Chains A and B, each alone.
Chain A
Amino acid sequence: MAMRPRLVEVRKNVLRQNDLLATDLRRRYGLAGVTTVSLVSSPGSGKTAFLEKTLTMLQPRYKVAALVGDLATANDAARLERSQAPVKQITTGTVCHLDAQMVDRALDGWNLNELDYLFIENVGNLVCPSSYDLGESLRLVLMSVTEGEDKPLKYPTIFNSADVAVITKIDLADAAEFDRDAARGSIHSVRPGMRVFELSAKTGAGMNEWLAYLNDSRAPVAYAGG
C-alpha cells in the first residue's frame, strides 16, 4: 500500500544565495567607503545618458566607476567611457536582470578602496530586476516624460523596491504634455514619501539638485576593528 505523503517543514528563502552574496557585497562597499547606486528603468528611458552626465559631473571631485548590464551589446559601456571613468560591461546574454554574482564577478580586478562612487546600470527592464539585491545602498528608478504618468501604477513592485525616483527628459515635458503632479501622485501611491528628481541629462536642468542629494548620501567609511 502506498504511504500517504507527509509534510516536512522547511523555511528556505529561494533567493538565499543571491541575498548572502549581496550582503557580503554591501559589507565590502561599506569597508571601502564606496557609495553604490543602482539604476533600473524600462529600455529607452535615458539611463545611460543620465549616468554619462552624472559620471562626467562627479569626475573632477570624486573617483567614480560604473558597471553596465546589457543583453547583447557593449554600446552603453562605449558611451559611458566618454566620461573618462572606468566602465565595465556585463553582457547578460538572455538573462533579463543583473544578480549579485554577476556584479561580484565584474568587480574582480577593481580596487573598491580607490572609489568614492560605484554605479550599476541594470538591464532595461521594469520587472525582473526588482527581485535581486545587488548590495547597493541606493536604488534609483527612472522614468522619462514620454512614458506616461501612470508607469509606476503599471510596475508597482519595482517602484516600491526603489529608494529614489528620477523623471528624465524633463526638457521634453511640454511637448509630451507631461503632467508632473499626476506622475508624482502615481509614484507616491506605490511608494509614499519617495524622493523624486525631475531632470534633463541633455540640458543639465535639475542635475545639481540630484548631485547634492548624492553627496548627502555618501557612505561613511566603516572601519574594520580598531
Chain B
Amino acid sequence: MHELSIAQSIIEGAAAELERYPENRVAAVHLQVGVLSGVVKEALLFSYDLAAEGTPLQGSRLEIENIAAAVFCPICREERVLDSIQNFRCPVCLSPTPEVIRGRELLITALELENGYAAAAC
C-alpha cells in the first residue's frame, strides 16, 4: 500500500499552495485520480486523514474525481473511453488501442478555502 505516501505528497502540495492565501484554511482538496494511476480511492481516503493530522490541512476533506481511461482508436481516428482497463479495445470497432490519452492523472485541481478568522468569529 503506497497510498499513505501519496497522501503525504497531496498534503505537502496543498500546504504549499495554501501559503499563497494567508488567513485561510482548507475545507477540501479536490483531486483527480485516473483509473490507471495505480491508486486505490478507499485506501487514499483512509490515509488522507492520517497524513493530515498535525498539519495545516488537519480536518479538511479529500474530494476525489475518478477519471476513466481514454484511448485513441487508430481505426476510427477518434478518442474513446474504455469500459474496462482489462480490455484495451475500441468499444465501437473493437480494434486494439494501445495509445492512452487520459487515465493516469494524480492531480490536485482545486482547494476549497475558508477564511479562518471569519469562521472562528461565529
Binding site for B on A (CB under 8 A): 1-3, 5-17, 95-97, 127-128, 130-131, 153, 156-158, 160-161, 188-193
Residues of B66-122 whose CB lies within 8 A of A: 85-89, 96-98, 100, 106-115, 118-119, 122
Q: Main SS of the interface on chain B?
A: mixed
- B residues within 8 A CB of A131? 2, 6, 37-39, 106
Q: Is the interface of A mostly helix, strand, loop or mixed?
A: mixed
For residue B11, which residue of chain A has the nearest CB? A14
User: In the complex, what distance in Å separates the CA atom of A193 from the CA atom of B30?
Assistant: 35
Question: CB-CB < 8 A to B30: which residues of A?
Answer: 7
Q: Please, could you name 22 A-B residue pairs with CB atoms under 8 Å apart, sorted by A? A: A1-B118, A2-B122, A5-B112, A6-B113, A8-B17, A8-B110, A10-B14, A10-B108, A10-B109, A10-B111, A11-B107, A14-B9, A14-B108, A15-B9, A15-B106, A128-B1, A128-B2, A130-B38, A131-B6, A131-B106, A157-B37, A189-B88
Given A5-B27, A128-B38, A131-B2, the answer on whether A191 and B98 have CB atoms closer than 8 Å is yes
Q: Which of B29-45 contact A (CB under 8 A)?
A: 30-31, 36-39
Contact count band on B: 35 or more
The distance from the CB of B13 to the nearest CB of chain A, in whole angstroms, is 5
Please name all residues of chain B whose beta carbon is closer than 8 Å to the beta carbon of A192 when the two chains form the complex: 88-89, 96-98
- Given the complex of chains A and B, what is the CA–CA distance between A95 and B85 in angstroms? 26
- Are A13 and B112 neighbours in the complex by a CB distance under 8 Å? no
Query: Contacts A160-B36, A191-B88 hold; do A14 and B2 have CB atoms under 8 A apart?
Result: no
Report Cα–Cα, A9/B100, bound state, in Å.
Answer: 25
User: When the two chains form their complex, are residues A10 and B110 in contact, meaning their CB atoms are under 8 A apart?
Assistant: yes
Residues of B in contact with A (beta carbons under 8 Å apart): 1-2, 5-6, 9-10, 13-14, 17, 21, 27-28, 30-31, 36-39, 85-89, 96-98, 100, 106-115, 118-119, 122
User: A224 to B109, alpha carbons, bound, how many Å?
Assistant: 36
A11 pairs with B108, CB closer than 8 A: yes
Which residues on B sit within 8 Å (CB–CB) of A13? 106-108
Query: What are the residues of chain B within 8 A of A153 when measuring CB–CB?
Result: 86
Point out which of A1, A96, A158, A189 has the most chain B C-beta atoms below 10 A from its C-beta: A189
Q: Which residue on chain A has the smallest CB distance to residue B28? A: A5
Expressed in whole angstroms, the Cα–Cα distance for A130 and B35 within the complex equals 12
B45 CB to nearest A CB, Å:
14
Contacts of B88 in A (CB 8 A): 160, 189-192
A8: B residues at CB distance < 8 A: 17, 21, 110-111, 113
In the docked arrangement, what's the CA distance between A17 and B108, Å? 14
